[in-house]
Amino acid sequence: MEANSSKELGHGSKQDLRVTVRLQVWHFSERGRCPEFNHGLARLFSPEALGDWNHWIPRPAEVVEPDGISIRDDYVPVEVDFVHAFATYNNPQGNPESGVRDVFKKFAPPIVYDYFISKLQSPPHAMNIYAVANGEEMTEMHIKMKYAHRFFFIPLWLRLERFIKPAMVRQEDTIMKILQAGVDSLRILGSLTFAYMAFQGADIRKATEFLATCKETLSQLSSQLPWLKEMLDNLSSSSSSENSTSENPPTSSGPLVLLGDASTSFEKLRELAGGLKPRLDKLSSGEGLTNQGIVRTILDLRQATIHLSEYEQAMVSFNEEEIGKWNETASHHENFVYRAGILALGCAVITALAFWNPQLARGLTATLGQHLKLGVGATSSLALTTGYQYNKLSDALVALGDARNRASAGRVALEGVFVALRQAHTTLTLVYLVQVMGQPIACMGDEERDRAVRMLGGDLQYLDNAMYSQTLIRDRVNNLVQASIDLDTEYQRTMHIMDAAMDIVGRVVET
């Protein structure tokens, strides 16, 4: 009986209220949470749009401004509540669970397209739905299992300063009919949104997986929407061109210039880290972040990975230059010592032969002079020259060893930060799902969880057991802090050993 006590709370409890679910469509808007948008979206859920069902009554959700700094968020939901005509949480007659899935996956997509893409011209990022009672989210796990769903239309980081539906988009009636059919409507809506944004110039260089999914989904519609093929072809050629350009590393410009490039990227990383740290400290201490803060932190962690990749590219080139330079220097001195050694041995042999066979000695002398290109003057200073070259060889070998050790230590430190960044980023996606989407990880299937993490830029290999906890957040934030300290130590070591400094215009010069 105790196991069911949390499910059936008795007469007069929330469980006796009619099933009510709240649909949230998330987008970026300077107007924040807007009653006008809630009313506008709710009006579109007419009885006809809901398949002439009488089970669900749509109502614009009341805008309740959040406390504190959250009131300034511009990553906000447009919200509509759906009240079931007779089903209650204790008596779910009329199969409201199935009805919620239909509202979310069949009826909402064409309306969301019409309102956000055509009317607001504000691309939807994500959509979720969950149960409420008296306007408050119901957090009981069995209720979440029944009524909570979410879908991400586009990657979180895909942004435009101003979204305008491309002029080549036509046949709006046909698009609406395709979405109203309810066959993979959520994925089609996401693919259309992604294609429209990419066509307008959104950066999709790191979105090859989403582009491939978009093309696969929309190519099946090209017979009904002929203009789609031209749009997809343009996206493919643009993406290929941008990727080929970004993958061509810059030609070598010398160690100091390369070190300057690395320094520039590292300072960008430091500046970004300065803004990240207070938010990460809040997460680590359990204080929490606003929805906007979570989104901003995810985006900043992604940008930090980009800066780190630029730093890595510059340091790899710098280390290759340094190792190559010292390897060449060591080889030069080694060759000189080798030749001097042969000369010393030859001179000893010639001296010994001079008494017994003067003619043979003269021949050997000529041969040594020809092959080693050394004259009598070089022979006379042989000991001094050999000692000098040997010392230079020793210095070069020490410098070569130091360069290799620095490169190795730098690679280890870099990899540590890369791993820590990806771990922290992936953990933040779980925070987003729980706090923003109101979706416990335990209520998600593996496939839908993995897709959500990818759309938020997380790395599946760092999901571990996907258990969301404050301990996990704290550990991963601490790992990132320590890895960053280790990398900074190696960076400073390189700058010190190179004996370099920044001049007033930011170029690296020798001191």
* Residue predicted with more confidence, 253 or 182: 182
Counting the structural domains of the chain, the total is 4
What is the arithmetic mean of pLDDT over 230-256? 64
Q: CB neighbours of 263 closer than 8 A, spacing ≥ 6?
A: 495, 502, 508
Residue 278's nearest CA partner among 69, 27, 72, 438 is 69
The whole-angstrom separation of Cα 73 and Cα 32 is 6
**Number of neighbours of residue 241 by Cβ within 10 angstroms:** 10
For 199-216, give one letter per residue: b (16+ CB within 10 A) or e: beebebebbeebbebbbe
Residue 352 has pLDDT above 60, yes or no: no
H or E segment at 179? Answer: helix 172-180
| Residues whose CB is less than 8 angstroms from the CB of residue 236 and which lie 6 or more positions away in sequence, other chains included | 211, 215
pLDDT digits (tens, 9 = 90+) for 115-173: 999 999 999 999 999 999 999 999 999 999 999 999 999 998 888 878 989 999 999 99
- Tell me whether residue 505 is in a domain: yes
- Domain-located, residue 499: yes
Domain boundary among 127, 152, 177: 152
User: Mind listing the pLDDT tens digit for each residue in 395-416?
Assistant: 778 877 887 888 888 889 899 9
Task: Count CA atoms within 13 Å of residue 291 on its CB side.
Answer: 22
Residue type at 478 in one-letter notation? N
Residues 314 and 425 in one domain: yes
- Between 60 and 335, the more confident residue is 60
Judgement on whether residues 145 and 261 belong to the same structural domain of the protein: no
Same domain, 427 and 303: yes
What is the DSSP code (8-state) at residue 50? Answer: T
Would residue 132 count as lying in a domain?
yes
User: Is the domain of 319 the same as that of 346?
Assistant: no
pLDDT for 1:
32
Contact 117, 193 (CB under 8 A): yes
Place of tokens 């539906």: 165
> Could you give the angle at which helices 382-435 and 470-497 cross, rounded to 10 degrees?
160
Q: Kindly state the tokens that stand for 106.
A: 């069949």
Q: Residue 403: inside a domain, yes or no?
A: no
- Torsion angle in degrees (nearest 10) through CA of 332, 338, 344, 350: -110
pLDDT at residue 210 tops 70: yes
Considering the domain architecture, whether residues 8 and 142 belong to the same structural domain is answered as yes
Give 211's contacts (C-beta < 8 A, 6+ positions apart): 194, 198, 204, 235, 236, 239
- Residue 294 is part of which domain span? 255-326+408-510
Does the pLDDT of residue 495 top 70, yes or no? yes
**Residue 47 and residue 181 share a domain:** no
Q: Decide if 312 contacts 416 (C-beta within 8 A).
A: no
How far apart, in whole angstroms, are the C-alpha atoms of residue 22 and residue 34? 16
Choose the final residue of a domain: 152, 178, 202: 152
CA distances from 505 to 262, 488, 501, 508 (A): 15, 22, 11, 9
φ/ψ of 19, rounded to 5, equals -60, 125
pLDDT at 32: 92
Could you report how far apart the first and last alpha carbons of the chain are, in Å?
79
* pLDDT number for residue 308: 92
What is the number of alpha carbons within 13 Å of residue 181 lying toward its C-beta? Answer: 11
Same domain, 126 and 16: yes
**Spatial distance between the Cα atoms of 511 and 492, rounded to a whole number of angstroms:** 16
Structure tokens at 451: 């897709």
Q: Which stretches of 373-445 are DSSP H helices?
A: 376-380, 382-435
Report, as an integer, the average pLDDT of 301-311: 91
Residue type, position 388, single letter: Y
- Say which range, 26-30, 130-134, 272-276, 324-328, has the weakest mean pLDDT: 324-328
Looking at residue 120, its pLDDT comes to 95
Distances (CA, A) of 260 to 264, 311, 399: 6, 10, 21
Query: In the numeric block, which tokens belong to residue 212?
Result: 């491939």
Other CB atoms within a 10 A radius of the CB of residue 498 amount to: 18
Most trustworthy range by pLDDT among 49-58, 84-93, 344-353? 84-93
Q: What's the pLDDT tens digit per position in 251-287?
A: 445 677 777 888 888 888 888 888 888 888 888 887 8
Residues 158 and 182 in one domain: yes
Contact between 457 and 298 under an 8 Å Cβ cutoff? The reply is yes
Whose tokens are 């370099």? That residue is 500
User: What is d(CA 329, CA 210) in angstroms, rounded to the nearest whole number?
Assistant: 49
Q: What is the mean pLDDT of the chain?
A: 81
Q: By percentage, how much of the chain surpasses pLDDT 70?
A: 79
180 or 357, greater pLDDT: 180
Sign of CA dihedral 226, 232, 238, 244: negative
Same domain, 450 and 499: yes
Same domain, 78 and 181: no
Angstrom distance (rounded) from CA 18 to CA 367: 107
Cα of 24 vs its chain's centroid, Å: 25
Residue 18: enclosing H or E segment and its boundaries? strand 18-28
Whether residue 70 sits in one domain with residue 2: yes
Q: Which one has a higher pLDDT value, 489 or 464?
A: 489
User: If we measure between CA atoms, which residue out of 227, 147, 158 comes closest to residue 190?
Assistant: 158
> Quick one: 317 and 385 in the same domain?
no
Q: Is 164 left (phi over 0), alpha (psi -120 to 50) or beta?
A: beta
**Close Cβ partners of 441 (under 8 Å, ≥ 6 residues apart):** 430, 433, 434, 449, 466, 467, 468
| CA–CA distance, 511 with 506 (Å, rounded to integer) | 14
Alpha helix locations (H) across 181-224?
185-199, 208-219
Q: Where are the beta strands (DSSP E) in 136-263?
A: 136-137, 149-152
Run of H or E including 83: strand 75-88
The runs of H, that is alpha helices, within 436-469 are 446-455
By the 8 A CB rule, do 104 and 149 touch? yes
Whether residue 369 lies inside any domain: the answer is: yes
Name the CA dihedral angle for 156, 161, 164, 167, rounded to a multiple of 10 degrees. -100
In a domain, 402, yes or no: no
Q: What is the pLDDT of residue 465?
A: 63
**SS3 for 84?**
strand
* % pLDDT > 90, the chain: 40
Q: Which of 90, 124, 152 is the last residue of a domain?
A: 152
For the domain that residue 506 is a member of, what is the CATH number?
Answer: 1.20.120
* Mean pLDDT, residues 53-70: 88
- Chain-centroid distance, C-alpha 484: 17
339 in a domain, yes or no?
yes
For residue 286, the model assigns a pLDDT of: 78
Q: Is 401 within the bounds of a domain?
A: no
